[in-house]
Structure 1
């Protein structure tokens, strides 16, 4: 009889007491309130990241065909994917908080981690590419101009748009056009019409400084891409901080729900 009492006492001693929902400063109710606020912040942050990614694709991708690697496009799509997770993830979080379902909270935690990785990856890649894009363009942009203009419709439209927008001519200098595949088809045209200060049909037969822009596009184009990459890097790295807080709070709540009583 004494042995049974000792065993029961030992089990009672080892068993962890279940706490009430408001037992301490980081109670279940407190964590649920914090995570509800976090969900609202995370939702709007996701919409912002999605908007930046979509803006990049919609208005800045007109020159992607001139870039030697798909890194710039990949950064934009990573941000779009990370931002698109905002709405379903916030809904999953609210559902898990309302029902206090630990499986939902676990899935919510994992997806917050994925969102963090996507945003940090996009920001880090943008930062890396911002440094690498200038030597890459110096090595390849002129070849793209001379080898693909008039042969590839997408490249042709991008080059014409660039020369008109940046008021430039050729990747390095206007005279480079004389060595292009495009020039061989019509040697009378010295530069594309988009090089002209006042664009008109076949205005490129004269390459005098009074008629055409005389500086190359590579410097302005490089600065244009680098400036936008800085924005993408700031958005990616900056927004990646937000999921960390949700991840930590949801982990704590996941553990605490198991040890509370109603």
Structure 2
């Protein structure tokens, strides 16, 4: 039995929301891939944050896509069981998103400390590995930083000659500028702080988008429950 009256409007709105969920799911997958690429360019290889964050985003996007597809089928067919399953799964996604947000806030300091440890480990490989050297040089040039906390961190690298830092640390980076340098000619800020500030800005944008998506998902659950009630009432009348 087809829904009637105001429930037709609810069904239409839910169908629009489901299509929006499909678009959001594809967007999350794309963002996950982009985050993976970006973090690999900005966070030392092997960092927990660099490997876990994009995977979580991609998995969540894939699951949301499947749930949205289920919701599309449930809405079109007005099937009570499918609609109930859709509402339950969508509620689970909301809970996971809230839990992930809380975990990210609680463990933010741990992520930063692991990031700093990973960066210092990469510094130790600077003179041994050309790929690592290029990686760190690009970071220090792009973010105008030097070392983990500041340029003195390079003094702790055993293979680095005394009174020398990578040329990428220089305010005006030229070949040999890091040899016998003057502190005033070196970028004073550490890369952990600079990259952390950049990531915080990106995280705030991502959090704003996630908050909007979560609000839409809550509306989806509400509309699904209304439609479920209407469908069930129709069955009871029959």
Q: Give the match for residue 62 of structure 2.
A: 84
**1:41-52 equivalence runs, <5 A:** 41-52=20-31
**Aligned counterpart in structure 1 of residue 94 of structure 2, from 116, 129, 132:** 116
5+ long unaligned stretches in structure 2: none
* Contact residue 48 and residue 114 of structure 2 kept, 8 A: no
TM-aligned CA deviation for residue 39 of structure 1: 1.2
Matched, 1:250 2:224: yes
Shift in CA distance, 74/231, structure 1 to aligned 2, threshold 3 Å = farther
Q: Give, in whole Å, the separation in 1 of the partners of 2:149 and 2:72.
A: 55
* Contact residue 66 and residue 144 of structure 1 kept, 8 A: no
**Aligned counterpart in structure 2 of residue 172 of structure 1, from 145, 149, 153:** 149
Q: Give, in whole Å, the separation in 1 of the partners of 2:142 and 2:120.
A: 20
Q: Give the match for residue 190 of structure 2.
A: 216
The DSSP-based 3-state class of the residue aligned with 1:182 is coil
Shift in CA distance, 154/133, structure 1 to aligned 2, threshold 3 Å = farther
**1:1-262 equivalence runs, <5 A:** 21-22=3-4, 25=6, 27=7, 29-65=8-44, 70-71=48-49, 73-129=51-107, 136=113, 140=117, 143-144=120-121, 146-150=123-127, 156-183=133-160, 187=161, 190-197=164-171, 199=173, 203-209=177-183, 212-260=186-234
Q: Give the match for residue 11 of structure 1.
A: none
TM-aligned CA deviation for residue 190 of structure 1: 1.6
TM-aligned CA deviation for residue 252 of structure 1: 3.0
Q: C-alpha deviations, 1:141-162, integer Å up to 9, x for none?
A: 6743554444567754442222
* Contact residue 43 and residue 115 of structure 2 kept, 8 A: no
Q: Give, in whole Å, the separation in 2 of the partners of 1:21 and 1:142.
A: 59
TM-aligned CA deviation for residue 200 of structure 1: 5.4
Q: Give, in whole Å, the separation in 2 of the partners of 1:177 and 1:101.
A: 65
Structure 1 window deviating more from structure 2 (207-216 vs 51-60): it is: 207-216
Q: Give, in whole Å, the separation in 1 of the partners of 2:99 and 2:131.
A: 29
Q: Give, in whole Å, the separation in 1 of the partners of 2:230 and 2:80.
A: 10
Corresponding pairs, count: 236
The DSSP-based 3-state class of the residue aligned with 2:159 is helix
* Contact residue 129 and residue 229 of structure 1 kept, 8 A: no
Q: Give, in whole Å, the separation in 2 of the partners of 1:240 and 1:131.
A: 25
Q: C-alpha deviations, 1:61-114, integer Å up to 9, x for none?
A: 3223278x6246533332332233344333222212222233322332232123
Provide the TM-score with structure 1 as the length reference. 0.71
TM-aligned CA deviation for residue 243 of structure 1: 1.4
